[in-house]
Amino acid sequence: MPLTPHNLTTRRPVWLALSTMFLDADVALTRTARSQVLAESPFSLDELESILIDEVYPVCWANLNAPNGEREGFDPAWLQSMILGRGSSPVTVARLQELARLAIPDSTEWLATKAAVAGAREADGAACARRGGSIA
């Protein structure tokens, strides 16, 4: 996936935030922090869902069923390397993306995260309006 330095810089925190949905832990506990990072990103909710499905899910899904899965957080350098390098074959990645397209849109945690992102963005917009500014 060719990315410009700017795109890579804006995607890194999003990848890391979305990867917290795949920890071997109660991921609801990371929702507030994850949602704040996603709300501050330049990506729409649809774009965030595409990043989750096409970039993060194919790399992180296996952690959900690992006997000793990652509990604290994925190493950012490893995550970036795996997303950019696509550690699996193109056929495997395509199958994982198809599975993600079926599972992610109705995932309880993704729906809660999207609602939290939308809420944070609305709150930021309202606060900015009260100050007489505009939001970018």
| pLDDT value of position 71 | 83
Say if 135 falls within a structural domain.
no
pLDDT tens for 23-75 read 998 999 999 999 999 999 999 999 999 999 999 999 999 888 787 788 889 99
Q: Which residue has the higher pLDDT, 4 or 114?
A: 114
Quick one: CA torsion of 104, 2, 34, 18, rounded to 10 degrees?
Answer: 30
Burial of 63 (0-12, 13-18, 19+ CB in 10 A): middle
Say if 70 falls within a structural domain.
yes
Q: Residue 95 sits in which domain range?
A: 5-130
Say if 86 falls within a structural domain.
yes
Distances (CA, A) of 130 to 116, 124, 134, 135: 21, 10, 10, 11
| pLDDT value of position 38 | 98
What mean pLDDT, rounded, does the chain reach?
88
For residues 68-95, give the mean pLDDT.
85
Say if 102 falls within a structural domain.
yes
Say if 9 falls within a structural domain.
yes
Q: What is the domain count for the chain?
A: 1
pTM of the shown model: 0.84
> Rounded to whole angstroms, how far apart are CA atoms 15 and 34?
10
Say if 114 falls within a structural domain.
yes
pLDDT at 114 > cutoff 80: yes
Say if 98 falls within a structural domain.
yes
Say if 125 falls within a structural domain.
yes
